[in-house]
Amino acid sequence: MDLDLQKLELFRDEIRLKTLKELHHLGFGHYGGSLSIVEVLAVLYGGVMKVDPANPKWEERDYFILSKGHGGPGLYATLAAKGYFPEEVLYTLNQNGTKLPSHPDKNLTPGVDMTTGSLGQGISAAVGVALSHKLSGKENYTYCIVGDGELNEGQCWEAFQFAAHHKLNRLFVFVDDNKKQLDGLTKDIIDPLDFAEKFNAFGFYAMKVDGGSLRGIYEAIEKGKAQGDKPVAIILDTVKGQGVPYLEEKADNHHIRPNEADEAAILNAIAELETKLGKAVEL
């Protein structure tokens, strides 16, 4: 794809706005880790991935698996913005009878390729999907987002080693390196050291990019596609709560049940994004 940065910026803002609105409507949720993946979701669904919202099960599509399933609200917002289902469905998030459970479920939500939530397991599923495509001679790409805290799980590294051994060069793994997990700073719980060095040691082609840069993410994907027979790892340098300064600075921003100050900041961010997008439409 040719990079249309202005179009991607609008798509990014729409995803961030929808993420905030659905979580605000619910009254609580995983703000931090949903917002930190907005940029990479915008790049993937904004043109990199071969998908058809009118035919979610299209066999020639590229597959996307959100291994860090608690970021589901960000994915749901993206799917709604892409046209998989109406925006109104977002406001049923985590409600009885919803098609949008707390964590993604491929049996419920159009556009979800794999059920995830148990950390460490989504990447194994993604590797299986990529291997299946390779053995079938298909050219589908498989994209997977994992969390930095999720990589405490040994199962992830078993999957990475398996992927490299089988030369799954159409597998892209994005690490949402937002420096935090449920119980605190990632480095204080288990210091991950240098993710790029570790992935390279495991046989990947790895690189680190600014996870807030649409251009940087896009160019990293293009660079990854041009390399040889290795799977690709793109380490996204992100901030939990990304794109909303108040939430970025909030200490406990993994799962938020907003207090009065939080509520005001979230409503302000929603208003700012609505104004920004409204002005863009007028232009």
pLDDT averaged over 10-residue windows placed end to end, the chain, 283 residues: 86 98 96 97 96 96 97 98 97 95 96 95 97 97 98 97 98 97 93 97 98 98 95 98 96 94 97 89 52
Q: What span, in angstroms and rounded, lies between the C-alpha atoms of 154 and 124?
A: 11
Domain 5-277 grouped into CATH 3.40.50.970:
yes
CB 233, CB 199: distance < 8 Å: yes
Cβ within 8 Å of residue 130, ≥6 positions away: 142, 163, 168, 170, 171, 231
Q: What span, in angstroms and rounded, lies between the C-alpha atoms of 281 and 90?
A: 22
Q: What span, in angstroms and rounded, lies between the C-alpha atoms of 105 and 114?
A: 7
pLDDT at 1: 57
Q: What span, in angstroms and rounded, lies between the C-alpha atoms of 139 and 254?
A: 36
Could you count the other beta carbons within 10 Å of the beta carbon of residue 148?
Answer: 25
